[in-house]
Structure 1
């Protein structure tokens, strides 16, 4: 059994890894693992040999004398050993409970039987399989301490099959729930109310998200193009003055300075248009995504308060809900473990 250099924290955090107590705990846990596995192996072999299937199998391979010897001499010994082992488990559990109370391993003295419920149930003959659960916990505890009790290849394979089982179970549950929701929406006469309630419940969140979106996209774009927009508005005002013949004719009646005044008016108009544009855009580019400006908040609130009692809008919301359910169902049906297995096979090739 190989040991890693670093020992992570575990239930032994109260014990010095170099102390004799720690080593005794380690030896005892290792001993219990082998003892439990050996006990369950003997019980499983006894169950098989005492069954009709076991008798037929040994008779078919001409080991009936060995079977008779086991049933006559060894079977009573296995039953007696099981009784002594149960007595040992009861005594061992009581001693550990006393030690846990003395050293305050738990906040209350009566917590121990609830935390170690599987050990108490494993004493019952009909629930012997829970002893294997305890052995697994001890093995996991040793693994946490840095001892590679289980080879890494077996660990990876066990984790893979665990993921396969959990993914298949969770996928079945999720798909069943999604199909139930979709069936309810298709058959229920109250699905419109459900959708309306869903929209109403998220109006505030929608308004907040819309305000942040406007601040991030529209405000940034306006700020980037603010100078260009102002120049274009100024040019439009300038062109509007040029396209006003009454003003041109009036200024030409003024001798000498008429043309100069016309040029100044055009320049002032262009400048005025640019300044007005800057003034209009300034409130729209202020603020931040965390604190959108008042204008965007007001727009978002008004949009979120729209009445959805509209057939086209209801169809849009229903379509979004159904497509969302279908997209989730499609994603859930993807077998991630199968893709991982294919990648592993390709890597081996």
Structure 2
């Protein structure tokens, strides 16, 4: 249900034009109703049915039907008069840069004035233009109506489906180009990725350090205990090491000492690696890794399948996100 905002109506100083718009809306609805009725009446079966069951209506409307073109011209004359008045107002207020711009910008108000056949139904565009103009002045708010929400929902759904299909099609074409080793991939590597190699190394360095600090340091005791258990279990399953226990006197002692030493060495090495990764000093290691993935352009003459797969997988992830139907989440 549309509500008129009287405060905005007063502030817009459009009261006179608002009255004209209301009158024009009433005339447009009346004219469109007559056009629809006359189109229905033009069917022979309808005329015969009215002549049989409602002869008074048939006799009353038959002269109007025969002269409907002239009756319609009366509405057209009113619509054209209103159009000319608005055109003159636009010239007087210097709304547009040139005086003759108005009919080109408001072409939809003119095409409906053609009193021929299906052009008459284009007068619905005048209704849309009036409602839109009132909405622009915030005199009415069409976004609160059920019709607007209904149409807007399916418009958004249609546009999302259409744009998603186009984007997925384009991205699939990009993937094919990258797989074939087209100049696009060389452009991505040489002009996009390689100039940002230091930035990528810095970003990866921070991410690795944060992941190590958040994931490892708070749980290093439990991780060390787990590693020692796994190493001890692996050593006990080793046939050569299990033979040490058969040595006289010192065999079991050597076996136990060796298991403890190996477990401690493995846990210490992994602990040191993860601590190094958690430190800001890991930048050199990450830079070397990025440098290996993104070598100098002159050294990248051979096909880099790993980097191609990386780019293809990134595009595939983007396609997966694009394929998400957000409009379905708005369904009740």
Same fold (TM over 0.5): yes
Does structure 1 residue 172 correspond to structure 2 residue 165? yes
8 A contact 1:142–1:149 mirrored in 2? no
- Specify every segment of 5 or more residues in structure 1 that has no aligned partner in the other structure, as ranges: 222-283, 287-292, 345-349
Partner of residue 82, structure 1: 72
8 A contact 1:17–1:23 mirrored in 2? no
TM-score of the two chains, using structure 2 as the length reference: 0.62
Of 109, 124, 135, the match for 2:99: 109
Partner of residue 34, structure 1: 26
Partner of residue 136, structure 1: 128
Shift in CA distance, 37/217, structure 1 to aligned 2, threshold 3 Å: same
Written as runs of structure 1 = structure 2, the 5 A alignment for 1:207-222 is 207=197, 209-210=199-200, 212-213=202-203, 216=206
Shift in CA distance, 129/167, structure 1 to aligned 2, threshold 3 Å: farther
8 A contact 1:48–1:54 mirrored in 2? yes
Of 303, 323, 332, the match for 1:333: 323
- Give the structure with the larger helix fraction: 2
Partner of residue 249, structure 2: none
Q: Distance in 2 between matches of 1:197 and 1:191?
A: 10
Written as runs of structure 1 = structure 2, the 5 A alignment for 1:1-349 is 2-4=3-5, 7=8, 17=11, 22-51=14-43, 58=49, 63=53, 65=55, 68-69=58-59, 72-124=62-114, 125=116, 126-144=118-136, 145-148=138-141, 152-182=145-175, 191-203=181-193, 205-207=195-197, 209-210=199-200, 212-213=202-203, 216=206, 303=294, 305-306=296-297, 307-311=299-303, 313-314=304-305, 316-341=306-331, 344=332
8 A contact 1:121–1:127 mirrored in 2? yes
8 A contact 2:112–2:121 mirrored in 1? yes
8 A contact 1:55–1:67 mirrored in 2? no
Render the CA deviation track for 1:104-144: whole Å, top value 9, x for unaligned. 11222222122212222222334334322231122123234
TM-score of the two chains, using structure 1 as the length reference: 0.59
Q: Distance in 1 between matches of 2:23 and 2:174?
A: 53
8 A contact 2:76–2:113 mirrored in 1? yes
Shift in CA distance, 209/29, structure 1 to aligned 2, threshold 3 Å: farther
Q: Distance in 2 between matches of 1:66 and 1:176?
A: 62
- Secondary structure of 2:11's partner? coil
- Specify every segment of 5 or more residues in structure 2 that has no aligned partner in the other structure, as ranges: 212-278
Moved more, 31-40 or 169-178: 169-178
Q: Distance in 2 between matches of 1:324 and 1:218?
A: 20
Render the CA deviation track for 1:39-72: whole Å, top value 9, x for unaligned. 222212222221357568x57x964747854762
Q: Distance in 1 between matches of 2:130 and 2:167?
A: 34
8 A contact 1:49–1:67 mirrored in 2? no
RMSD: 4.2
Shift in CA distance, 217/128, structure 1 to aligned 2, threshold 3 Å: same
Number of corresponding residues: 261
How far has the Cα of 1:38 moved from its partner?
A: 2.3
Q: Distance in 2 between matches of 1:298 and 1:98?
A: 73
